[in-house]
């Protein structure tokens, strides 16, 4: 029986700016997103019966239609009239509800994988459009790499990757709802907007120091005020000597960029005193 495999890497936002709240309830954003080498793995196999079946080694995620990978399979199947079934096994490595787009990346990997399994011949663009129907981060996760994202996150422009470095991820044990964070943001009261042109220039020049200096996320104001433990982790990361620190997405995961391998172990060990879930990964370049 035919099987396909897809990797679903986690994303981080090097920059997240909100321009305004839109009439449809979403926020107009400008973001620079990239991937790190912490990834879920999806295995997709044809089923003899016309059914979507999901399994995972992770005990704490939904395996029914609430799962974004299930929703992606159902969407592509219905849209292209596929009368075949699929068994999807999800090997979950990305922490859940972390601000790392784990569910979105699984959905994107399901779209890419099922396009191959069912030989639908869809372009990346078509898969991105399908993904946008399920969530704002999914088009970027379909495309991968590094990109500027505009609109509600679905308008993408690919750019060159940021300088290679270590990325330390720390996820405090709290659940943050993306809808709540956007809901609490007062878009017209944002005082300091991070600069997209400055970050683009830093990436173009392959300047690690300038990338670190240009990091910015306007959603931090909401999440850090509400959850002091996220602010504390940011401060601990800075104190331990990370070169640049930022909250990813709506949080609660904080990432630190580090250029020297010799510093990484000390930062990891220092953070483990404050936070159980700490990961050391590489920027995907």
Ligand X SMILES: Nc1ncnc2c1ncn2[C@@H]1O[C@H](COP(=O)(O)OP(=O)(O)OP(=O)(O)O)[C@@H](O)[C@H]1O
Cβ closest to ligand CDM, residue 4 vs residue 17: 17
CB of 16 vs ligand CDM, minimal distance in Å = 6
Cβ closest to ligand CDM, residue 29 vs residue 52: 29
Which of the 8 DSSP states describes residue 234? Answer: H
**Contacting range for ligand X; rule: CB under 6 A; set: 64-72, 147-155, 184-192, 207-215:** 64-72
151 assigned to a ligand binding site = no
Alpha helices, H only, the chain? 68-79, 102-117, 124-132, 138-143, 178-184, 196-204, 208-214, 220-226, 228-239, 261-272
Instruction: For residue 173, state whether it binds ligand X (rule: CB under 6 A).
Output: no
Instruction: For residue 101, state whether it binds ligand X (rule: CB under 6 A).
Output: yes
Instruction: For residue 17, state whether it binds ligand X (rule: CB under 6 A).
Output: no
Select the binding partner of residue 27 from ligand CDM, ligand X, none (C-beta < 5 to 8 A, by kind). ligand CDM
Residues 6+ apart with CB under 8 A from 251: 99, 176, 181, 219, 220, 223, 227, 230
275, 230 in Cβ contact below 8 A?
Answer: no
96 assigned to a ligand binding site = yes
Quote the CA–CA distance of 88 and 112 in Å, as a whole number. 13
166-171 and 254-258: which strand pairing? antiparallel
SS3 187: helix
Instruction: For residue 137, state whether it binds ligand CDM (rule: CB under 6 A).
Output: yes
Select the binding partner of residue 26 from ligand X, ligand CDM, none (C-beta < 5 to 8 A, by kind). ligand CDM
Select the binding partner of residue 29 from ligand CDM, ligand X, none (C-beta < 5 to 8 A, by kind). ligand CDM
Instruction: For residue 93, state whether it binds ligand X (rule: CB under 6 A).
Output: no
Instruction: For residue 34, state whether it binds ligand X (rule: CB under 6 A).
Output: no
Residue 92 known to be catalytic: no
216-217 and 3-21: which strand pairing? parallel
Point out the residue whose Cβ comes nearest to ligand X: 103
Instruction: For residue 115, state whether it binds ligand CDM (rule: CB under 6 A).
Output: no
Place of tokens 């690690």: 208
User: What DSSP letter does each residue of 43-104 carry, written as one string?
Assistant: EEEEESSS-EEEEES-TTS--STTSHHHHHHHHHHHHTT---EEEEEEE--SPTTSSS-HHH
Instruction: For residue 178, state whether it binds ligand X (rule: CB under 6 A).
Output: yes
Instruction: For residue 80, state whether it binds ligand CDM (rule: CB under 6 A).
Output: no
Neighbouring-strand partners of residue 18: 29
Active site residues: 11, 137
Task: Tell me which residues touch ligand CDM (CB under 6 A).
Answer: 13, 16, 25-27, 29, 31, 101, 104, 135-137, 152-153, 178-179, 182, 249-250
Annotated binding-site members: 95-105
Annotated binding-site members for ATP: 95-105
């Amino acid at each position: 029986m035919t099987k396909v495999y897809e990797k679903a890497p986690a994303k981080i936002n090097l920059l997240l700016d909100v321009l305004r709240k839109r009439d449809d309830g979403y926020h107009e954003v400008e973001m620079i997103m990239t991937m790190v080498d912490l990834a879920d793995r999806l295995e997709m196999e044809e089923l003899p019966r016309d059914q979507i079946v999901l399994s995972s080694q992770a005990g704490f995620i939904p395996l029914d239609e609430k799962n974004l990978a299930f929703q992606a399979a159902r969407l592509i199947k219905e849209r292209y009239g596929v009368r075949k079934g699929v068994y999807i096994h999800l090997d979950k490595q990305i922490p859940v509800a972390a601000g790392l787009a784990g569910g979105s990346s699984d959905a994107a990997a399901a779209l890419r994988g099922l396009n191959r399994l069912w030989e639908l011949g869809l372009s990346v663009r078509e898969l991105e459009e399908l993904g946008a129907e399920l969530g704002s981060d999914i088009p970027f996760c379909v495309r991968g790499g590094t990109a500027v994202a505009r609109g509600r996150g679905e308008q993408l422009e690919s750019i060159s990757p940021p300088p290679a470095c270590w990325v330390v991820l720390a996820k405090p044990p709290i659940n943050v709802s993306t809808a709540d964070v956007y809901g609490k943001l007062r878009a017209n009261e944002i005082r300091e907007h991070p600069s997209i042109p400055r970050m683009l220039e830093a990436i173009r020049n392959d300047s690690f120091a300038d990338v670190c200096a240009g990091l910015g996320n306007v959603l931090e104001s909401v999440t850090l005020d509400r959850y002091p433990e996220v602010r504390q982790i940011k401060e601990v990361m800075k104190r331990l000597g990370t070169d640049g620190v930022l909250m990813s997405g709506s949080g609660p995961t904080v990432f630190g960029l580090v250029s020297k391998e010799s510093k990484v172990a000390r930062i990891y060990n220092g953070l483990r005193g404050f936070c159980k879930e700490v990961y050391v990964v590489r920027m995907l370049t």
